[in-house]
Amino acid sequence: MKKMLSILLILSLAFAVFGGQPILAETGEGSGTSKIGGEGAIVVSVTLADDGSIEAIEILENNETPGISDAAIEAIPEAIVAEQSLMVDAVAGATYTGDAIILAVRDALEKMGADVSRFEVEVDTEVEQAEDVLLTADVVVIGAGGAGLTAAVQAHMNGASVLVLEKMPKVGGNTILSGGALNAVDDRSETAIAMEDSVEWHYEQTLAGGDFKGIPALVHILVSRAWDAVEWMKELGMEFVEGEIFTVTGGLWPRAHKPLEPVGTGFFKTYQAYIDSHDGIDVMLNTKATDLIMEDGRVVGVLAEGETGNAVTAMADKGVVMATGGFANSVELRQAFNIQWADLGPSIPSTNHPGATGDGIKMLMKVGADMIQMGFIQLLPIGDPETGSLSGNIEFGVDSRIFVNKEGNRFVNEGGRRDEMTEALFEQTDNYLWMIMDADKYPTGEEKNNFNESINSLIAEGRAFKGETLEELAEQIDVPYDNLKAALDTYNEHCESQEPDEFGRTIFGTPIDTAPFFAAPRVPTVHHTMGGVHINESAQVLDENLQCIPGLFAAGEVTGGIHGANRLGGNALADLLVFGRIAGESAAAGR
């Protein structure tokens, strides 16, 4: 349960022990400061042996979100000691944390006066190839993100033995990178009644929000079974913040539930607890699926490549579930399928994890699966300017912030559709916006955003700004004060009247008028690929003649036809839970 972390400005501290004498090295000044790492400090203890070799490295302090950077925390110190080199490869999927650890160790060595060049030697990465293996399970799942592990757990609960293949060295996929917002409506709840929400309204908004391109039957399943999926997760032990319903960016209505654990870690802690406590469900990491095995028109297994390049053949007695996610991190595929945006080349970053490269799409095409709506690619207007990630996003919900451009003017309905907000942002100077909030959500500065970051830490890292007055904030972010004040004054009037504003915004919270004021820069970023493989109501994959491919199922972002031309914020987690469960049930039944 780890994820690739966003690049942040880190003050890297190194605690070094040499000859029994501790030396505290603070890399907040000079060459030790780096734009690598996660939130806060990485503190390491480095012990040198009498011959000057590195004897031990211990992580003394790590302010990353628990469960997210485990791959690097576990592997990098061990690799440095084993190889006596700082040139070890950072763990895939946690590369920025790995680099931060390496920098902290380097800083410690420098402060101790060690010969750092001694540890700048290339590492032999060749490994002996393991033997080829043949494995068998009732159900084989490709992908250990949210959809994949949902399908795996559900299939196992339905009596199937399960093998999960994951090409990355960790589970999590994009789900663990998410803010955790999950749209689901319990029609019987007082909250839904108070919010004037219903399953039917969720259905209508999802269809309309996707320009009526979504397949109605699939959309109805999504919204009608979302609350059951939340209840299922609770039964498995996952906790949600009670009584907190909010509108996530592009969600159009306050129906998003927030997990108690930060970002997407709660899902995977829950799945891991189930896997650890049950026999018959196994996860193989660093195992890349390459092809589906067909016999007499039925999918019966998966060909994969193991960590050392060995062949892994996984046979499925009942079915294979494709849950490999989308292709937002494949510039090649998004450029090939793009029909909406002027350019989706390498200059446009992505929120996605590094494994979101469309591998499943390619495997499905090989067996004649029907691919639909591949040109519908969603961008968000709230990516980190350096990495494109969603970290550093200071909002808690739509009702507590506005967007202004570099001229200090509002330019869009901040409670509207994601595609419309992004299109409007592309028309602004440098495709750049400032998210503006006040102290209502940050009374102490230690409150955490949806990505487990405090506003104080973001300000210290230069990723957010604080002004004791609005004029001071305007000066810090270099926008005209008069324009910023006018934007807030007009917005605040609508907060009082609750009347739609000139941009069509209808979601208003309390006025943004309580000092201090906060701002964070954001840019467009590729977020979700709505197109994918065509499935039916049982999550069975359809071929180009719209007939089921026996033994093949799919769930999550690899599928198409559910969200249409534009996905509502908060619907992705509902999608992977609902259809992940259906795929697991169907595969276990051997349909």
Residues 77-127 have pLDDT tens digits of: 888 998 899 888 655 445 667 777 888 888 888 888 888 889 988 877 677
Domain 379-526: CATH class, spelled out: alpha beta
Instruction: Assign 30 a pLDDT band (cuts: 50, 70, 90).
Output: very low
Active-site choice (225, 417, 418, 581): 418
* Token pair recorded at residue 366: 């090989």
Instruction: Assign 71 a pLDDT band (cuts: 50, 70, 90).
Output: low
Q: What CA–CA distance (Å, rounded) separates 160 from 158?
A: 6
Q: What CA–CA distance (Å, rounded) separates 56 from 240?
A: 40
pLDDT tens figures, 194-240: 889 999 999 999 999 999 999 999 999 999 999 999 999 999 999 99
Q: What CA–CA distance (Å, rounded) separates 560 from 207?
A: 14
pLDDT tens figures, 526-552: 999 999 999 999 999 999 999 999 999
Give the relative orientation of helices 146-157 and 571-589 as an angle to the nearest 10 degrees. 40
What average pLDDT does the structure give for the chain?
Answer: 88
Mean pLDDT of the 392-397 span: 90
Give residue 94's pLDDT: 52
- Is residue 31's pLDDT more than 70? no
Please answer whether residues 318 and 590 qualify as being in contact, where contact means their C-beta atoms are separated by less than 8 angstroms.
yes
Give residue 561's pLDDT: 97
Q: What is the pTM (predicted TM-score) of this model?
A: 0.84
Is the Cα dihedral 172, 178, 181, 182 positive or negative? negative
CATH topology of domain 133-329+356-374+533-589: FAD/NAD(P)-binding domain (3.50.50)
Cβ neighbours around 59 below 10 Å, total: 17
Q: What CA–CA distance (Å, rounded) separates 96 from 93?
A: 9
Q: List the chain domain ranges.
A: 12-119, 133-329+356-374+533-589, 379-526
Burial class (CB in 10 A: 0-12, 13-18, 19+), 7: buried
Give residue 68's pLDDT: 52
Tell me, yes or no, if 418 is annotated catalytic. yes
Please answer whether residues 250 and 415 qualify as being in contact, where contact means their C-beta atoms are separated by less than 8 angstroms.
no
Expressed in angstroms, the distance from the first to the final Cα of the chain is: 31
- Is residue 175's pLDDT more than 90? yes
Q: What CA–CA distance (Å, rounded) separates 334 from 344?
A: 7
Domain 12-119: CATH class, spelled out: alpha beta
